[in-house]
Chain A
Amino acid sequence: MHTLLDLARFNHVPYFLITICFTFTIMPEALSTPLLQVQNLSRQFGRDTVVQQVSFTLNTGEILGLLGHNGAGKSTTLNMITGTLAATTGNIQIAGYDLHKKPAHAKRHIGYLPATAPLYESMTVTEYLTFCAKLHKIPNNQIKHHRQQAIELCNLNAITQKRLGLLSTGFKQRVGIAQALIHQPDVIILDEPTNGLDPEQMSDMRSLIKGLSKNHSILFSSHLLTEVSAICDRVLILNQGKQVVNQTLSSLQDSLETVTLLVEFESSPKLDQLLNINGVQSAKQVSETQWHCCVRHHKTTAQNIIAQSHQQHWGLYHISEASSLLEQVFLQQMHLSVEIQP
Protein backbone atom coordinates (compact mmCIF):
# COMPACT_ATOMS: atom_id res chain seq x y z
CA MET A 1 0.00 0.00 0.00
CA HIS A 2 1.30 3.39 -1.00
CA THR A 3 1.50 5.94 1.73
CA LEU A 4 2.27 9.62 1.34
CA LEU A 5 5.83 8.90 2.42
CA ASP A 6 6.18 6.20 -0.23
CA LEU A 7 5.04 8.71 -2.82
CA ALA A 8 7.56 11.21 -1.52
CA ARG A 9 10.41 8.82 -2.28
CA PHE A 10 12.14 8.27 -5.60
CA ASN A 11 10.59 9.84 -8.75
CA HIS A 12 7.42 11.02 -7.16
CA VAL A 13 9.08 13.71 -5.08
CA PRO A 14 8.35 16.70 -7.36
CA TYR A 15 4.71 15.65 -7.87
CA PHE A 16 4.33 15.01 -4.17
CA LEU A 17 5.67 18.45 -3.30
CA ILE A 18 3.44 20.12 -5.89
CA THR A 19 0.39 18.28 -4.53
CA ILE A 20 1.23 19.21 -0.96
CA CYS A 21 1.83 22.85 -1.92
CA PHE A 22 -1.44 22.96 -3.87
CA THR A 23 -3.42 21.33 -1.08
CA PHE A 24 -2.10 23.49 1.73
CA THR A 25 -1.72 26.81 -0.04
CA ILE A 26 -3.89 27.30 -3.12
CA MET A 27 -6.85 25.04 -2.39
CA PRO A 28 -7.91 26.42 0.97
CA GLU A 29 -7.60 29.94 -0.41
CA ALA A 30 -9.65 29.02 -3.46
CA LEU A 31 -12.29 27.40 -1.31
CA SER A 32 -12.47 30.24 1.15
CA THR A 33 -12.33 33.09 -1.40
CA PRO A 34 -15.85 34.22 -2.33
CA LEU A 35 -16.72 34.19 -6.03
CA LEU A 36 -17.70 37.81 -5.91
CA GLN A 37 -16.19 40.30 -3.52
CA VAL A 38 -17.32 43.90 -3.52
CA GLN A 39 -15.55 46.39 -1.28
CA ASN A 40 -16.55 49.99 -0.56
CA LEU A 41 -18.23 50.48 -3.90
CA SER A 42 -19.37 54.03 -4.62
CA ARG A 43 -20.57 55.86 -7.68
CA GLN A 44 -21.18 59.54 -8.21
CA PHE A 45 -22.96 61.23 -11.08
CA GLY A 46 -21.85 64.83 -10.83
CA ARG A 47 -22.62 65.83 -7.25
CA ASP A 48 -25.13 63.02 -6.68
CA THR A 49 -23.84 59.95 -4.90
CA VAL A 50 -25.99 57.14 -6.26
CA VAL A 51 -24.18 54.27 -4.55
CA GLN A 52 -22.26 54.76 -1.33
CA GLN A 53 -19.76 52.39 0.31
CA VAL A 54 -21.47 49.12 -0.61
CA SER A 55 -19.57 45.99 0.45
CA PHE A 56 -20.66 42.36 0.23
CA THR A 57 -19.57 38.92 -0.90
CA LEU A 58 -21.25 36.17 -2.85
CA ASN A 59 -20.27 32.61 -2.09
CA THR A 60 -20.49 29.48 -4.19
CA GLY A 61 -24.05 28.23 -4.70
CA GLU A 62 -25.58 31.19 -2.92
CA ILE A 63 -28.53 33.32 -4.09
CA LEU A 64 -28.18 36.91 -2.95
CA GLY A 65 -31.13 39.25 -3.38
CA LEU A 66 -30.49 42.94 -3.89
CA LEU A 67 -33.52 44.75 -2.55
CA GLY A 68 -34.49 48.40 -2.62
CA HIS A 69 -36.94 50.99 -3.82
CA ASN A 70 -36.89 52.12 -7.43
CA GLY A 71 -33.89 54.44 -7.65
CA ALA A 72 -32.14 52.94 -4.62
CA GLY A 73 -29.02 52.20 -6.67
CA LYS A 74 -29.59 48.51 -7.47
CA SER A 75 -29.06 48.70 -11.23
CA THR A 76 -26.09 51.07 -10.85
CA THR A 77 -24.49 48.58 -8.43
CA LEU A 78 -25.07 45.71 -10.87
CA ASN A 79 -23.76 47.77 -13.80
CA MET A 80 -20.56 48.41 -11.85
CA ILE A 81 -20.19 44.73 -10.97
CA THR A 82 -20.59 43.72 -14.61
CA GLY A 83 -18.08 46.30 -15.81
CA THR A 84 -20.52 48.32 -17.90
CA LEU A 85 -20.10 51.31 -15.59
CA ALA A 86 -16.99 52.28 -13.66
CA ALA A 87 -17.08 52.69 -9.91
CA THR A 88 -15.97 56.06 -8.56
CA THR A 89 -14.26 54.24 -5.72
CA GLY A 90 -14.14 50.67 -4.52
CA ASN A 91 -12.89 47.31 -5.58
CA ILE A 92 -14.60 44.37 -7.30
CA GLN A 93 -13.05 40.90 -7.42
CA ILE A 94 -14.71 38.22 -9.54
CA ALA A 95 -13.34 34.70 -9.13
CA GLY A 96 -10.10 36.23 -7.85
CA TYR A 97 -9.71 38.70 -10.75
CA ASP A 98 -9.82 42.44 -10.19
CA LEU A 99 -12.50 43.80 -12.55
CA HIS A 100 -10.68 47.12 -12.98
CA LYS A 101 -7.26 45.65 -13.67
CA LYS A 102 -8.20 42.49 -15.58
CA PRO A 103 -11.68 43.13 -17.00
CA ALA A 104 -11.56 40.46 -19.71
CA HIS A 105 -10.57 37.72 -17.21
CA ALA A 106 -13.14 38.83 -14.66
CA LYS A 107 -15.98 39.16 -17.19
CA ARG A 108 -15.52 35.53 -18.29
CA HIS A 109 -16.83 34.46 -14.90
CA ILE A 110 -20.05 36.46 -15.00
CA GLY A 111 -23.26 36.23 -16.97
CA TYR A 112 -25.49 39.29 -16.96
CA LEU A 113 -29.13 39.86 -17.73
CA PRO A 114 -29.86 43.62 -17.55
CA ALA A 115 -33.32 44.99 -16.69
CA THR A 116 -34.18 44.95 -20.40
CA ALA A 117 -33.02 41.75 -22.08
CA PRO A 118 -30.33 42.77 -24.62
CA LEU A 119 -31.77 41.09 -27.71
CA TYR A 120 -31.23 41.63 -31.43
CA GLU A 121 -34.85 41.32 -32.46
CA SER A 122 -34.28 40.21 -36.05
CA MET A 123 -32.11 37.25 -35.02
CA THR A 124 -33.51 33.81 -34.27
CA VAL A 125 -32.94 32.31 -30.81
CA THR A 126 -30.29 29.95 -32.21
CA GLU A 127 -28.44 32.70 -34.07
CA TYR A 128 -28.50 34.94 -31.02
CA LEU A 129 -27.20 32.31 -28.63
CA THR A 130 -24.48 31.33 -31.14
CA PHE A 131 -23.38 34.97 -31.30
CA CYS A 132 -23.35 35.22 -27.48
CA ALA A 133 -21.27 32.05 -27.28
CA LYS A 134 -18.75 33.57 -29.70
CA LEU A 135 -18.69 36.79 -27.66
CA HIS A 136 -17.57 34.71 -24.69
CA LYS A 137 -14.88 33.04 -26.80
CA ILE A 138 -16.29 29.52 -26.58
CA PRO A 139 -14.39 27.36 -29.12
CA ASN A 140 -16.37 26.70 -32.33
CA ASN A 141 -16.57 22.95 -31.75
CA GLN A 142 -18.20 23.48 -28.33
CA ILE A 143 -20.72 26.17 -29.27
CA LYS A 144 -23.46 23.71 -30.25
CA HIS A 145 -23.13 21.83 -26.96
CA HIS A 146 -23.21 25.03 -24.86
CA ARG A 147 -26.12 26.40 -26.85
CA GLN A 148 -28.15 23.22 -26.47
CA GLN A 149 -27.48 23.13 -22.75
CA ALA A 150 -28.69 26.73 -22.32
CA ILE A 151 -31.75 26.04 -24.47
CA GLU A 152 -32.70 23.01 -22.37
CA LEU A 153 -32.06 24.75 -19.05
CA CYS A 154 -34.28 27.66 -20.00
CA ASN A 155 -36.85 25.45 -21.75
CA LEU A 156 -36.54 27.14 -25.13
CA ASN A 157 -36.72 24.01 -27.32
CA ALA A 158 -40.00 25.01 -28.95
CA ILE A 159 -38.85 28.44 -30.13
CA THR A 160 -35.26 27.97 -31.30
CA GLN A 161 -36.02 29.08 -34.88
CA LYS A 162 -38.29 31.97 -33.93
CA ARG A 163 -37.19 35.57 -34.34
CA LEU A 164 -36.58 37.29 -31.00
CA GLY A 165 -38.84 40.21 -31.89
CA LEU A 166 -41.81 37.87 -32.15
CA LEU A 167 -41.41 36.31 -28.69
CA SER A 168 -43.52 37.05 -25.63
CA THR A 169 -41.98 38.98 -22.71
CA GLY A 170 -41.60 35.76 -20.71
CA PHE A 171 -39.70 34.00 -23.47
CA LYS A 172 -37.57 37.11 -24.10
CA GLN A 173 -36.51 37.03 -20.44
CA ARG A 174 -35.73 33.31 -20.75
CA VAL A 175 -33.58 33.94 -23.82
CA GLY A 176 -31.89 36.73 -21.84
CA ILE A 177 -31.08 34.25 -19.08
CA ALA A 178 -29.90 31.70 -21.65
CA GLN A 179 -27.37 34.22 -23.01
CA ALA A 180 -26.22 34.95 -19.45
CA LEU A 181 -25.43 31.30 -18.75
CA ILE A 182 -24.28 30.09 -22.17
CA HIS A 183 -20.61 30.25 -21.17
CA GLN A 184 -21.38 28.54 -17.85
CA PRO A 185 -20.22 31.42 -15.65
CA ASP A 186 -19.63 31.09 -11.94
CA VAL A 187 -21.80 34.09 -11.16
CA ILE A 188 -25.09 34.97 -12.81
CA ILE A 189 -26.31 38.54 -12.31
CA LEU A 190 -29.98 39.24 -12.99
CA ASP A 191 -31.43 42.74 -12.85
CA GLU A 192 -35.14 42.50 -12.00
CA PRO A 193 -35.66 39.31 -14.04
CA THR A 194 -39.40 39.08 -13.37
CA ASN A 195 -40.20 42.60 -14.57
CA GLY A 196 -43.18 42.64 -16.87
CA LEU A 197 -44.04 38.96 -16.39
CA ASP A 198 -47.49 37.64 -15.50
CA PRO A 199 -47.90 35.64 -12.24
CA GLU A 200 -47.48 32.28 -13.97
CA GLN A 201 -44.35 33.43 -15.81
CA MET A 202 -43.02 34.87 -12.54
CA SER A 203 -43.48 31.52 -10.86
CA ASP A 204 -41.70 29.77 -13.77
CA MET A 205 -38.87 32.29 -13.57
CA ARG A 206 -38.46 31.69 -9.82
CA SER A 207 -38.25 27.94 -10.41
CA LEU A 208 -35.67 28.54 -13.14
CA ILE A 209 -33.54 30.75 -10.88
CA LYS A 210 -33.79 28.21 -8.06
CA GLY A 211 -32.70 25.49 -10.47
CA LEU A 212 -29.73 27.53 -11.68
CA SER A 213 -28.47 27.99 -8.16
CA LYS A 214 -27.40 24.32 -8.08
CA ASN A 215 -24.48 25.11 -10.40
CA HIS A 216 -24.10 28.88 -10.21
CA SER A 217 -24.01 31.66 -7.67
CA ILE A 218 -26.76 34.15 -8.33
CA LEU A 219 -27.03 37.83 -7.56
CA PHE A 220 -30.35 39.31 -8.49
CA SER A 221 -32.09 42.58 -7.85
CA SER A 222 -35.76 43.12 -7.26
CA HIS A 223 -38.16 45.46 -5.56
CA LEU A 224 -40.61 42.59 -4.98
CA LEU A 225 -40.28 41.33 -1.42
CA THR A 226 -42.20 38.10 -2.03
CA GLU A 227 -39.84 37.23 -4.82
CA VAL A 228 -36.73 37.80 -2.75
CA SER A 229 -38.08 35.90 0.26
CA ALA A 230 -39.10 33.00 -2.01
CA ILE A 231 -35.75 32.60 -3.74
CA CYS A 232 -32.89 34.11 -1.77
CA ASP A 233 -30.57 32.76 0.88
CA ARG A 234 -29.32 36.20 1.79
CA VAL A 235 -30.62 39.73 1.36
CA LEU A 236 -28.82 43.00 0.76
CA ILE A 237 -31.05 46.03 1.19
CA LEU A 238 -30.11 49.36 -0.34
CA ASN A 239 -31.70 52.62 0.70
CA GLN A 240 -30.74 55.77 -1.19
CA GLY A 241 -27.55 54.11 -2.33
CA LYS A 242 -26.52 53.03 1.16
CA GLN A 243 -26.34 49.44 2.29
CA VAL A 244 -28.66 49.04 5.27
CA VAL A 245 -28.93 45.24 5.59
CA ASN A 246 -26.72 42.35 4.54
CA GLN A 247 -28.02 39.25 6.32
CA THR A 248 -29.41 35.77 5.76
CA LEU A 249 -33.20 35.51 5.81
CA SER A 250 -33.20 33.51 9.06
CA SER A 251 -31.02 36.01 10.90
CA LEU A 252 -33.22 38.81 9.57
CA GLN A 253 -36.24 37.28 11.24
CA ASP A 254 -34.34 37.11 14.51
CA SER A 255 -33.21 40.70 14.19
CA LEU A 256 -36.74 42.06 13.96
CA GLU A 257 -37.51 44.15 17.03
CA THR A 258 -41.25 44.06 16.64
CA VAL A 259 -43.59 42.07 14.43
CA THR A 260 -47.14 42.98 13.48
CA LEU A 261 -49.58 40.10 13.91
CA LEU A 262 -53.01 39.87 12.35
CA VAL A 263 -55.41 38.41 14.92
CA GLU A 264 -59.09 37.60 14.32
CA PHE A 265 -61.66 36.91 17.05
CA GLU A 266 -65.33 35.94 16.97
CA SER A 267 -66.08 38.30 19.88
CA SER A 268 -63.55 41.08 19.86
CA PRO A 269 -61.72 41.93 23.12
CA LYS A 270 -61.17 45.48 24.34
CA LEU A 271 -57.92 47.32 23.62
CA ASP A 272 -56.88 47.29 27.29
CA GLN A 273 -57.29 43.54 27.45
CA LEU A 274 -54.99 43.04 24.48
CA LEU A 275 -52.38 45.47 25.78
CA ASN A 276 -52.30 43.58 29.07
CA ILE A 277 -51.06 40.45 27.32
CA ASN A 278 -47.35 39.97 27.90
CA GLY A 279 -45.38 40.98 24.76
CA VAL A 280 -48.07 43.08 23.07
CA GLN A 281 -46.74 46.60 22.60
CA SER A 282 -49.60 48.20 20.73
CA ALA A 283 -52.80 47.12 19.02
CA LYS A 284 -55.14 48.60 16.46
CA GLN A 285 -58.59 47.37 15.51
CA VAL A 286 -58.81 47.22 11.72
CA SER A 287 -62.32 45.76 11.43
CA GLU A 288 -65.04 44.39 13.67
CA THR A 289 -63.20 41.12 14.19
CA GLN A 290 -59.61 41.93 13.09
CA TRP A 291 -56.76 43.41 15.13
CA HIS A 292 -53.19 44.34 14.25
CA CYS A 293 -50.99 43.68 17.28
CA CYS A 294 -47.46 45.00 17.33
CA VAL A 295 -45.53 42.50 19.45
CA ARG A 296 -42.03 41.65 20.71
CA HIS A 297 -40.83 38.03 20.59
CA HIS A 298 -43.62 37.12 18.24
CA LYS A 299 -43.56 33.35 18.79
CA THR A 300 -44.06 33.46 22.58
CA THR A 301 -46.42 36.43 22.38
CA ALA A 302 -48.59 34.58 19.88
CA GLN A 303 -48.82 31.72 22.37
CA ASN A 304 -49.80 34.22 25.08
CA ILE A 305 -52.56 35.67 22.86
CA ILE A 306 -53.90 32.16 22.12
CA ALA A 307 -53.88 31.26 25.83
CA GLN A 308 -55.59 34.51 26.84
CA SER A 309 -58.23 34.13 24.15
CA HIS A 310 -58.96 30.61 25.36
CA GLN A 311 -59.34 31.84 28.95
CA GLN A 312 -61.50 34.86 28.07
CA HIS A 313 -63.56 33.05 25.38
CA TRP A 314 -62.75 35.58 22.64
CA GLY A 315 -63.10 32.86 20.00
CA LEU A 316 -59.71 33.32 18.31
CA TYR A 317 -59.86 31.73 14.87
CA HIS A 318 -56.92 33.30 13.00
CA ILE A 319 -53.44 34.49 13.95
CA SER A 320 -50.62 35.18 11.49
CA GLU A 321 -47.99 37.70 10.54
CA ALA A 322 -49.76 40.72 9.08
CA SER A 323 -47.21 40.85 6.28
CA SER A 324 -44.10 38.81 5.46
CA LEU A 325 -41.24 39.20 7.88
CA LEU A 326 -39.02 40.43 5.09
CA GLU A 327 -41.53 43.13 4.26
CA GLN A 328 -41.55 44.24 7.88
CA VAL A 329 -37.74 44.30 7.97
CA PHE A 330 -37.69 46.21 4.72
CA LEU A 331 -40.15 48.79 5.95
CA GLN A 332 -38.39 49.18 9.30
CA GLN A 333 -35.09 49.70 7.51
CA MET A 334 -36.59 52.23 5.16
CA HIS A 335 -37.76 54.16 8.23
CA LEU A 336 -41.33 53.85 7.12
CA SER A 337 -44.35 53.13 9.22
CA VAL A 338 -45.06 49.46 9.71
CA GLU A 339 -48.71 50.28 9.89
CA ILE A 340 -50.58 47.99 7.57
CA GLN A 341 -53.70 48.97 5.74
CA PRO A 342 -56.74 46.68 6.24
Chain B
Amino acid sequence: MIVTLLKKDLKLLAYSPFIWLYLCLFQFISTWIYFIHIDQFMATQTQMIASNALYTVSDRIVIPFFKSMGLVSTLFLPFITMSLISKEKQQKTFTLLSASPITLFQVTFSKLLTAISIIFVMTMLLSIMIALLTLGTNINLRLLLTCSVAFILLNTAIASMGLFLSSLTRQPIIAGLATLGFLLLTILFGWNAENTDTLLKSISLHTHYNALLSHIINTSHIVYLLVFTLLMFGWSLFKLSSESWRQ
Protein backbone atom coordinates (compact mmCIF):
# COMPACT_ATOMS: atom_id res chain seq x y z
CA MET B 1 0.00 0.00 0.00
CA ILE B 2 2.89 2.36 0.80
CA VAL B 3 4.21 1.78 -2.73
CA THR B 4 0.76 2.61 -4.21
CA LEU B 5 0.59 5.85 -2.22
CA LEU B 6 4.20 6.73 -3.08
CA LYS B 7 3.57 6.10 -6.80
CA LYS B 8 0.49 8.30 -6.66
CA ASP B 9 2.40 11.15 -5.01
CA LEU B 10 5.32 10.92 -7.43
CA LYS B 11 2.95 10.76 -10.40
CA LEU B 12 1.13 13.89 -9.20
CA LEU B 13 4.47 15.63 -8.72
CA ALA B 14 5.62 14.60 -12.20
CA TYR B 15 2.40 16.01 -13.72
CA SER B 16 3.00 19.35 -12.11
CA PRO B 17 5.40 21.86 -13.75
CA PHE B 18 6.41 22.92 -10.24
CA ILE B 19 8.76 20.00 -9.60
CA TRP B 20 10.55 20.43 -12.95
CA LEU B 21 11.01 24.13 -12.32
CA TYR B 22 12.16 23.34 -8.78
CA LEU B 23 14.78 20.85 -9.97
CA CYS B 24 15.95 23.19 -12.76
CA LEU B 25 16.39 26.04 -10.31
CA PHE B 26 18.17 23.79 -7.81
CA GLN B 27 20.47 22.51 -10.55
CA PHE B 28 21.19 26.04 -11.76
CA ILE B 29 22.07 27.31 -8.28
CA SER B 30 24.12 24.25 -7.38
CA THR B 31 26.07 24.53 -10.66
CA TRP B 32 26.73 28.19 -9.94
CA ILE B 33 28.09 27.35 -6.47
CA TYR B 34 30.06 24.42 -7.93
CA PHE B 35 31.88 26.74 -10.34
CA ILE B 36 32.51 29.31 -7.60
CA HIS B 37 34.28 26.63 -5.55
CA ILE B 38 36.29 25.47 -8.58
CA ASP B 39 37.28 29.08 -9.33
CA GLN B 40 38.35 29.61 -5.72
CA PHE B 41 40.40 26.42 -5.85
CA MET B 42 42.06 27.49 -9.11
CA ALA B 43 42.81 30.92 -7.66
CA THR B 44 44.42 29.56 -4.49
CA GLN B 45 46.13 26.57 -6.12
CA THR B 46 49.47 28.35 -6.71
CA GLN B 47 49.54 29.71 -3.15
CA MET B 48 48.88 26.23 -1.75
CA ILE B 49 51.70 24.72 -3.83
CA ALA B 50 54.04 27.48 -2.66
CA SER B 51 53.15 26.93 0.99
CA ASN B 52 53.30 23.12 0.66
CA ALA B 53 49.76 22.83 2.00
CA LEU B 54 48.37 19.32 2.11
CA TYR B 55 44.84 20.22 1.03
CA THR B 56 43.47 18.10 -1.78
CA VAL B 57 40.76 18.80 -4.35
CA SER B 58 38.35 16.83 -2.18
CA ASP B 59 39.07 19.06 0.80
CA ARG B 60 38.95 22.29 -1.17
CA ILE B 61 35.95 21.56 -3.38
CA VAL B 62 33.84 18.60 -2.20
CA ILE B 63 33.46 19.54 1.48
CA PRO B 64 32.81 23.29 0.96
CA PHE B 65 30.46 22.52 -1.91
CA PHE B 66 28.32 20.17 0.20
CA LYS B 67 28.47 22.65 3.10
CA SER B 68 27.03 25.35 0.85
CA MET B 69 24.46 22.98 -0.62
CA GLY B 70 23.29 22.11 2.90
CA LEU B 71 22.23 25.74 3.27
CA VAL B 72 20.73 25.92 -0.22
CA SER B 73 18.64 22.80 0.30
CA THR B 74 17.37 24.28 3.58
CA LEU B 75 15.86 27.08 1.55
CA PHE B 76 14.57 24.76 -1.18
CA LEU B 77 13.10 21.78 0.63
CA PRO B 78 10.22 23.58 2.43
CA PHE B 79 8.71 24.16 -1.03
CA ILE B 80 8.36 20.38 -1.36
CA THR B 81 7.39 19.54 2.21
CA MET B 82 4.80 22.30 2.57
CA SER B 83 2.25 20.48 0.45
CA LEU B 84 2.85 16.93 1.67
CA ILE B 85 -0.21 16.67 3.93
CA SER B 86 -1.69 20.17 4.01
CA LYS B 87 -2.48 20.07 0.28
CA GLU B 88 -4.34 16.78 0.74
CA LYS B 89 -6.35 18.45 3.49
CA GLN B 90 -6.90 21.60 1.46
CA GLN B 91 -8.15 19.64 -1.58
CA LYS B 92 -10.26 17.39 0.71
CA THR B 93 -8.49 14.32 -0.65
CA PHE B 94 -7.28 13.43 2.82
CA THR B 95 -10.85 12.27 3.49
CA LEU B 96 -10.46 9.75 0.67
CA LEU B 97 -7.37 8.32 2.37
CA SER B 98 -8.76 8.34 5.90
CA ALA B 99 -12.05 6.70 4.82
CA SER B 100 -10.12 3.90 3.06
CA PRO B 101 -9.03 0.68 4.75
CA ILE B 102 -5.43 1.86 5.11
CA THR B 103 -3.54 3.03 8.18
CA LEU B 104 -2.35 6.55 8.93
CA PHE B 105 1.16 5.14 9.31
CA GLN B 106 1.06 4.05 5.67
CA VAL B 107 -0.16 7.49 4.59
CA THR B 108 2.42 9.40 6.67
CA PHE B 109 5.32 7.12 5.78
CA SER B 110 4.52 7.34 2.06
CA LYS B 111 4.60 11.13 2.35
CA LEU B 112 8.05 11.02 3.96
CA LEU B 113 9.22 8.62 1.24
CA THR B 114 7.97 11.05 -1.41
CA ALA B 115 10.15 13.79 0.05
CA ILE B 116 13.08 11.37 0.36
CA SER B 117 12.68 10.45 -3.33
CA ILE B 118 13.10 14.10 -4.29
CA ILE B 119 16.08 14.37 -1.93
CA PHE B 120 17.64 11.38 -3.70
CA VAL B 121 17.26 13.10 -7.06
CA MET B 122 18.81 16.28 -5.64
CA THR B 123 21.72 14.29 -4.15
CA MET B 124 22.25 12.47 -7.43
CA LEU B 125 22.49 15.78 -9.28
CA LEU B 126 25.13 17.05 -6.84
CA SER B 127 27.09 13.78 -6.77
CA ILE B 128 27.22 13.57 -10.56
CA MET B 129 28.67 17.09 -10.74
CA ILE B 130 31.39 16.23 -8.21
CA ALA B 131 32.03 12.86 -9.86
CA LEU B 132 32.66 14.70 -13.15
CA LEU B 133 35.79 16.16 -11.55
CA THR B 134 37.37 12.69 -11.76
CA LEU B 135 37.81 13.37 -15.48
CA GLY B 136 40.57 15.89 -14.67
CA THR B 137 41.72 15.13 -11.16
CA ASN B 138 41.65 12.62 -8.34
CA ILE B 139 38.57 12.74 -6.12
CA ASN B 140 38.19 10.81 -2.90
CA LEU B 141 35.05 8.82 -3.79
CA ARG B 142 34.62 7.65 -0.19
CA LEU B 143 34.45 11.27 0.91
CA LEU B 144 31.95 11.95 -1.85
CA LEU B 145 29.83 9.02 -0.60
CA THR B 146 30.06 10.27 3.00
CA CYS B 147 29.05 13.77 1.96
CA SER B 148 26.14 12.42 -0.11
CA VAL B 149 24.88 10.32 2.81
CA ALA B 150 25.22 13.31 5.14
CA PHE B 151 23.29 15.45 2.65
CA ILE B 152 20.51 12.83 2.49
CA LEU B 153 20.40 12.57 6.31
CA LEU B 154 20.22 16.35 6.77
CA ASN B 155 17.48 16.74 4.19
CA THR B 156 15.51 13.77 5.50
CA ALA B 157 15.54 15.46 8.92
CA ILE B 158 14.40 18.71 7.28
CA ALA B 159 11.69 16.83 5.35
CA SER B 160 10.40 15.19 8.53
CA MET B 161 10.15 18.62 10.17
CA GLY B 162 8.30 19.89 7.10
CA LEU B 163 6.03 16.84 7.22
CA PHE B 164 5.13 17.58 10.85
CA LEU B 165 4.40 21.25 10.20
CA SER B 166 2.42 20.28 7.09
CA SER B 167 0.23 18.01 9.23
CA LEU B 168 -0.72 20.96 11.47
CA THR B 169 -2.42 23.13 8.87
CA ARG B 170 -4.60 23.10 5.75
CA GLN B 171 -2.61 25.93 4.19
CA PRO B 172 0.56 24.77 2.39
CA ILE B 173 2.02 28.28 2.39
CA ILE B 174 1.77 28.48 6.18
CA ALA B 175 3.41 25.07 6.52
CA GLY B 176 6.18 26.17 4.15
CA LEU B 177 6.87 29.45 5.94
CA ALA B 178 6.84 27.77 9.35
CA THR B 179 9.33 25.14 8.13
CA LEU B 180 11.57 27.80 6.62
CA GLY B 181 11.42 29.82 9.85
CA PHE B 182 12.39 26.86 12.03
CA LEU B 183 15.18 25.86 9.69
CA LEU B 184 16.65 29.36 9.54
CA LEU B 185 16.59 29.35 13.33
CA THR B 186 18.58 26.10 13.44
CA ILE B 187 21.07 27.57 10.95
CA LEU B 188 21.47 30.61 13.21
CA PHE B 189 22.07 28.33 16.21
CA GLY B 190 24.87 26.61 14.36
CA TRP B 191 26.23 29.66 12.54
CA ASN B 192 27.46 31.54 15.56
CA ALA B 193 28.49 28.32 17.20
CA GLU B 194 31.70 29.52 18.82
CA ASN B 195 29.99 32.26 20.79
CA THR B 196 26.71 30.57 21.60
CA ASP B 197 25.56 28.07 24.13
CA THR B 198 26.68 24.49 23.49
CA LEU B 199 23.07 23.40 23.89
CA LEU B 200 21.95 25.61 21.03
CA LYS B 201 24.93 24.46 19.05
CA SER B 202 24.03 20.84 19.58
CA ILE B 203 20.40 21.44 18.61
CA SER B 204 21.30 22.81 15.19
CA LEU B 205 20.88 20.29 12.38
CA HIS B 206 23.63 22.04 10.42
CA THR B 207 26.19 21.64 13.22
CA HIS B 208 25.76 17.87 12.96
CA TYR B 209 25.68 17.98 9.17
CA ASN B 210 28.86 20.05 8.92
CA ALA B 211 30.58 17.71 11.37
CA LEU B 212 29.72 14.78 9.13
CA LEU B 213 31.40 16.41 6.11
CA SER B 214 34.88 15.08 6.89
CA HIS B 215 37.11 12.09 6.38
CA ILE B 216 36.25 10.74 9.83
CA ILE B 217 32.65 9.76 10.57
CA ASN B 218 31.30 10.38 14.05
CA THR B 219 28.24 8.16 14.45
CA SER B 220 26.74 10.42 17.15
CA HIS B 221 25.93 12.98 14.44
CA ILE B 222 24.23 10.31 12.32
CA VAL B 223 22.25 9.15 15.36
CA TYR B 224 21.16 12.73 16.11
CA LEU B 225 19.85 13.30 12.58
CA LEU B 226 18.07 9.92 12.58
CA VAL B 227 16.51 10.48 16.01
CA PHE B 228 15.37 13.95 14.93
CA THR B 229 13.74 12.42 11.82
CA LEU B 230 12.02 9.70 13.85
CA LEU B 231 10.79 12.21 16.42
CA MET B 232 9.28 14.49 13.79
CA PHE B 233 7.75 11.55 11.95
CA GLY B 234 6.27 10.29 15.23
CA TRP B 235 4.79 13.70 15.99
CA SER B 236 3.25 13.88 12.51
CA LEU B 237 1.66 10.49 13.03
CA PHE B 238 0.48 11.50 16.50
CA LYS B 239 -1.09 14.71 15.16
CA LEU B 240 -2.93 12.95 12.34
CA SER B 241 -4.06 10.08 14.57
CA SER B 242 -5.36 12.46 17.23
CA GLU B 243 -8.01 13.70 14.79
CA SER B 244 -9.60 10.26 14.76
CA TRP B 245 -9.29 9.61 18.48
CA ARG B 246 -12.10 9.75 20.96
CA GLN B 247 -12.04 13.09 22.75
Residues of A within 8 A of B (CB): 43-44, 79, 82-89, 100, 103-105, 107-108, 110, 112, 114, 116-123, 127, 131-132, 134-137, 179
Contact = CB atoms under 8 A, between A and B. Distances in A.
A131 B4 contact: yes
A107 B101 CA distance: 5
Interface stretch (B43-51, B89-97, B119-127, B191-199): B89-97
Nearest to A137: B101
Contact of B99 (A87, A107, A122): A107
Contacts of A117: 92
Interface in B22-76: none
Given A44-B247, A82-B95, A135-B96, 15 more contacts: A83-B98, A84-B95, A86-B243, A86-B246, A104-B103, A107-B101, A110-B99, A112-B95, A121-B91, A122-B15, A122-B16, A131-B4, A135-B100, A135-B101, A137-B1
Given A118-B92, A119-B93, A123-B12, A107 B247 contact: no
A132 B15 contact: no
A120 B101 contact: no
B99 A83 contact: yes
Given A83-B98, A84-B99, A105-B101, A120 B93 contact: yes
Nearest to A108: B101
A259 B103 CA distance: 51
B102 interface: yes
Contacts of A86: 243-247
A322 to B, nearest CB: 39
Contacts of B92: 114, 116-118
Contacts of A112: 95, 99
Interface in B86-145: 91-103
The bracket for how many chain B residues form the interface is: 20 to 34
A195 to B, nearest CB: 13
B-side binding surface: helix, strand, loop or mixed?
Answer: loop
A132 B96 contact: yes
Interface of B: 1, 4, 8, 11-12, 15-16, 91-103, 243-247
Contacts of A131: 4, 8
A105 B100 CA distance: 10
Given A123-B12, A135-B102, A136-B101, A83 B244 contact: yes
A43 B15 CA distance: 40
B50 to A, nearest CB: 59
A82 B99 contact: yes
Nearest to A100: B246
A341 to B, nearest CB: 36
Contacts of B103: 104
Nearest to A116: B92
A135 B97 contact: yes
Contacts of A121: 91
B101 A103 contact: yes
A326 to B, nearest CB: 29
A85 B243 contact: yes
B185 to A, nearest CB: 32
Contact of A118 (B8, B93, B101): B93
B12 A136 contact: no
Contacts of A116: 92
